[in-house]
Chain A
Amino acid sequence: MIKVNRSNITEKTAFFMIKSGAFIVIGVLLFILGYIVMKGASAISWEFLTEMPRKEMTEGGIFPAIAGTFYLMLGSSLISIPVGVITAIYLSEYAKNPRIVKIIRLGINNLAGVPSVVFGLFGLSLFVIFLGFGTSILAGSLTLGLLNLPVIIRSTEEALIVVPETYREASISLGATKWQTIYKIVLPNALPGILTGVMLSLGRAAGETAPIMFTAAAFYTPDLPVSVFNEVMALPYHIYVMATAGTHIQATRHLQYGTAIVLIGLVLMLNLTGLILRYRFRRRLRL
């Protein structure tokens, strides 16, 4: 009897600690987001979003950084989406040799584990210097695109796997070739799941700093970029340089908070869209 009581107390204590741990994590997240929004909300205005910076970036807006981040997102997805989706299709629809699949998977996992600053070094030596693109949108987009490949491959694969095998069989039995089946039956059914991966990767491209530090980002540009060989301002790099370098670190705190809000807002919006798409996709296929 006493023994039963003691194990009940142990259970209660353990569960209490586990629950506290989980809620501490949620609490910290809410605190970080809440604090930044509270401090920076006053900086957000239409002018802040749409105007060029003025007076050594102590006043005015962050439009060039928003535009630069947008260019990098677009550029990187031009690389990562086609290559990533095709790799995933190969792995889940075509590949028969388990050894090749295993090696490719190992490559993807290791690519996902390469530190972002190492991607930055790679981009610097290959794209900026060896291929002569210079510090540019092109070099930054290529670097971010390669960094994002594993994200797209994994979510596309996940989306392809849940498309029921019967769909493929029905298509093949109607005389369609393998490619026709994939193109007309499998891909349309997997589309929401693939879009989830696209959203997640766009969010990552927007938020990464280390890979673009040496390949694309500029402290300040007086004009918007006119070609892919121009360097650009970008939101995450803007936060970094405003917070650590320059002579007006304290005076521009509200602008730093404001930029952080814009970046978090953009990234969360992309990620939430991705999560919602995935949620609905899973529900639809379960029915």
Chain B
Amino acid sequence: MNENLKEEIKIRKTKKEKKHSSIIFDIFIEKFFLIIGLSCLVILFLIMLFLVKEGVPLFSKISLTDFLTGSEWYPTSENPRFGVLPLIIASVSVTILASAISIPLSLAVAIYLAELAGSRLREIVKPVVEIIASIPSVVIGFFGMVVIAPFLMEKFDIDSGLNMFNAAAMLAFMAIPTIASISEDAISSVPVSLKEASYALGANRWQTIFHVTLPASLSGIWTAIILGISRVIGETMVVLMVAGGATLIPHSIFDPVRPLTSNIAAEMAEAEVGGIHYNALFAIGLILFVITFMFNLAADYLSNKYKFKSN
């Protein structure tokens, strides 16, 4: 009897200890996970730190204004010049052209998916959009080189098919999944009651979409467009392979250009580590980082500010 009781107490004690230690373990896990959870912020900070560390030394040799407004980029000539204006203009113009092509198509896909498609067609079109998102950019660039470039040369009688228009068309295709899927989420999240009210007033389906659903989802659509544009600005391989690579300020959409991203990719291999050219390429990386960071902050702000509470 006494033996049994002693045994019982012993078991209870170890159980209690076990419980106690697993609670301590739990607290340890929580702290550990918090530290890992902060890693994204640490990485973001490190990226900024290393871009600054390698890029900023450039400005001890040339001034920031000369860098940003200089219209000549000749990094390897005897008297090297580092003016990124042509590269910035190239990036901006390619991005505008790509957006002009991509936004209408993406919105068509989004409205089609959210409002028009029957459930079976939806099941087909939605994965198609996700497949577009997954095609490696180098493949799209390759396609632009071997198929679109010869086609443009023949059709428009130009010297080279590798130009701003070709790059913009390829980039537009790549931006479609981003813009379409986020817009679709926004359009689908418009409460049914709003649409019902519109129908009750005698509006037809298109009037309801155009006057009620789209305005109600506008902030989501803007978020989608901003993120799509941000992706276009940052895309590298397509413009590297297809945009033509000339560091001149373009005068027509069929001029070859060299956007910021492709310039880094094209020249990093020949830049001497720690040299002025190397610094300049990191400074360009810093410009890209800052631009996309602002776009992402704007998208984040917009998507948090106006959002239908899901019911």
Contact = CB atoms under 8 A, between A and B. Distances in A.
A230 interface: no
Given A14-B210, A253-B146, A22 B125 contact: yes
A248 to B, nearest CB: 15
A249 to B, nearest CB: 10
A189 to B, nearest CB: 19
Interface in B22-68: 22-23, 25-26, 29-30, 33-34, 36-41, 43-44, 46-47, 50-51, 53-54
Nearest to A21: B108
Given A14-B206, A207-B138, A243-B241, A114 B234 contact: yes
Contacts of A55: none
A210 to B, nearest CB: 4
B234 A179 contact: no
A213 B128 CA distance: 29
B225 interface: no
Interface string B103-115: 0110111011100
B261 A115 contact: yes
B288 A115 contact: yes
A213 B296 contact: no
A11 B207 contact: yes
Nearest to A102: B304
Contacts of A271: 130-131, 134
A125 B37 contact: no
B77 to A, nearest CB: 22
A90 B112 contact: no
A8 B132 CA distance: 34
Contact of B292 (A113, A180, A200, A204): A113
Given A35-B147, A121-B51, A240 B138 contact: yes
A146 to B, nearest CB: 5
Given A18-B111, A115-B261, A271-B130, A122 B40 contact: no
B136 interface: yes
Nearest to A244: B241
A118 B234 contact: yes
Given A207-B137, A210-B265, A109 B54 contact: no
A1 interface: no
Contacts of A15: 116, 205-206
A104 B34 CA distance: 10
B112 A18 contact: yes
Contacts of B46: 122, 126
A54 interface: no
Given A90-B34, A91-B37, A114 B47 contact: yes
Contacts of A25: 105, 108-109, 128-129, 132, 173, 176, 180
B216 interface: no
Interface residues of B, number: 89
B296 A178 contact: no
A191 interface: no
A30 B241 CA distance: 22
A62 to B, nearest CB: 14
Nearest to B46: A126
Contact of B23 (A83, A177, A210, A243): A177
B289 interface: yes
B24 to A, nearest CB: 10
A185 to B, nearest CB: 15
B308 interface: no
Interface string A237-258: 1011001100000000100100
Give the interface SS of chain A, mostly helix, strand, loop or mixed: helix
A208 B265 CA distance: 13
Interface string B258-299: 000100110011000100000001100100110011011101
A195 to B, nearest CB: 16
Interface in A232-287: 236-237, 239-240, 243-244, 253, 256, 260, 263-264, 267-268, 271-272, 275
B155 to A, nearest CB: 16
B79 interface: no
Contacts of B296: 109-110, 112-113
Given A29-B128, A118-B234, A203-B134, A177 B26 contact: yes
B25 A104 contact: no
B43 to A, nearest CB: 5
Contacts of B268: 120-121, 124, 213-214
A174 interface: no
A243 B140 CA distance: 12
Contacts of B233: 115
A111 interface: yes
Contacts of A260: 139, 142
B236 interface: yes
Contacts of B17: none
A178 B108 contact: no
Interface of A: 7-8, 10-11, 14-15, 17-22, 24-26, 28-29, 32, 35-36, 83, 86-87, 89-91, 94-95, 103-104, 106-122, 124-126, 129-130, 146, 149-150, 153, 177-180, 200, 203-204, 206-210, 213-214, 236-237, 239-240, 243-244, 253, 256, 260, 263-264, 267-268, 271-272, 275
Top 10 nearest A-B pairs (CB, nearest first) are A21-B108, A115-B234, A207-B136, A11-B206, A90-B37, A113-B296, A22-B112, A90-B33, A107-B41, A210-B236
8 contacts: A14-B209, A24-B105, A115-B288, A209-B236, A209-B237, A240-B138, A240-B241, A256-B142
